Amino acid sequence: MRPFSYERVATPAEAANAAARTQGAKFIAGGTNLLDLMKLEIEAPTHLIDVNDIGLDRIEPTAEGGLRIGALVRNTDLAADKRVRKDYALLSRALLAGASGQLRNKATTAGNLLQRTRCPYFYDTNQPCNKRKPGSGCAAIGGYSRQLGVIGTSEACIATNPSDMAIAMRALDATVETVKPDGATRAIPIAEFHRLPGDTPHIETVLEPGELITAATLPAPVGGTHIYHKVRDRASYAFALVSVGAIIQRDGSGRVAVGGIAHKPWRIEAAEAAMPRGAKAVAEWLLAGARPTHDNAFKLTLVERTLGAVLAQVRG
């Protein structure tokens, strides 16, 4: 691990200002992803800004009937919250499908949204990776790619987003609230928050330098049956090959977001009009333009079958 300086801050504005002051600074809360990356020298921040004491650890109702989830709410607390379990069960189930109990006790809402890919070539510093070192190439293209992306990929990157929570947030139409170093705030729809790789896969979100996530806001509940179905190589503590987060209404309409297949949570609203016609019709829309590799072409069938299992569960 390389040397770095460290400071604790007391307010969100203080945190953003500290990040703007020091080139190479990073925010740290639970550290469940960042510290691992620092040990491997994939991340080498010059300065760590500890944001644990800035008061963003509450879940509060909004005037619109939704919930405002502070950036520092721990995954365990969020999954167990009675309001979340009652009205946003998809979010609770997605969180419980991720990581382990010990990690969920430390991991935060903002940190989960900012998780970096688990592509094996990203983690192997002996391999070229445009996400780790822009312009170096992508060893995953032409390499072993079973767990990697099949849609929304580019010639520069085929990595996937690893977050279970982000899939639920996308299906629930969450909004990400932030503050910038100059004090300006903004609200970013979750659909716009994560970027596709294009030619700059190292730029994973629309956040600007020094911009701090302060909360994720959920709109008023939409009802329906909430299901999170995750297919993985092990029964626990494994990232998704394919995951489906769905909210299905009594008339067969609904929402669906898919994980494990793209650089961002994958939701195509136009596909949801096909929900009453079944999984095959939805999958055709969701996966239009897919470019799988030899190793991961099975994911196209797996998306359809996982969605089919979700719909069958709703029908009983």
In the numeric block, which tokens belong to residue 171?
Answer: 């299906």
Question: Which tens digit of pLDDT belongs to each residue from 291-305?
Answer: 999 999 999 999 999
Instruction: Say if strands 5-8 and 47-50 run parallel, antiparallel, or are unpaired.
Output: parallel
C-alpha to C-alpha distance for 132 and 68, rounded to whole angstroms: 33
Which DSSP helix (H) or strand (E) runs through 270?
Answer: none
CA-to-CA dists, residue 115 to 64, 108, 163, 204, 255, angstroms = 29, 10, 7, 10, 24
In the numeric block, which tokens belong to residue 41?
Answer: 């020298």
Question: Which tens digit of pLDDT belongs to each residue from 217-237?
Answer: 999 999 999 999 999 999 888
- Pseudo-torsion of CA 200, 206, 212, 215, nearest 10°? -130
Cβ distance 139 to 127 under 8 Å?
A: yes
Question: Which tens digit of pLDDT belongs to each residue from 176-201?
Answer: 999 999 999 999 999 999 999 999 99
Q: SS3 for 302?
A: helix
Q: At 202, give phi and psi (nearest 5°).
A: -75, -15
Quote the pTM value: 0.96
HSE-up of residue 307 (Cα within 13 Å, Cβ side):
30
C-alpha to C-alpha distance for 186 and 308, rounded to whole angstroms: 38
Task: Specify burial of residue 53 (Cβ count, 10 A radius: 0-12, 13-18, 19+).
Answer: middle
Q: Which residues contact 261 (CB under 8 A, 6 or more apart)?
A: 149, 150, 151, 160, 242, 287, 299, 303
Instruction: Say if strands 5-8 and 225-231 run parallel, antiparallel, or are unpaired.
Output: unpaired
Q: What is the pLDDT along the chain (316 residues), one digit of tens a residue?
A: 689 999 999 999 999 999 999 999 999 999 999 999 999 999 999 999 999 999 999 999 999 999 999 999 999 999 999 999 999 999 999 999 999 999 999 999 999 999 999 999 999 999 999 999 999 999 999 999 999 999 999 999 999 999 999 999 999 999 999 999 999 999 999 999 999 999 999 999 999 999 999 999 999 999 999 999 999 999 888 999 999 999 999 999 999 999 999 999 999 999 999 999 999 999 999 999 999 999 999 999 999 999 999 999 998 7
C-alpha to C-alpha distance for 299 and 146, rounded to whole angstroms: 9
Question: Which tens digit of pLDDT belongs to each residue from 109-132?
Answer: 999 999 999 999 999 999 999 999
pLDDT at 25: 97
Residue 294 CA to chain centroid, in angstroms?
26
Q: SS3 for 275?
A: helix
Residue 261 CA to chain centroid, in angstroms?
12
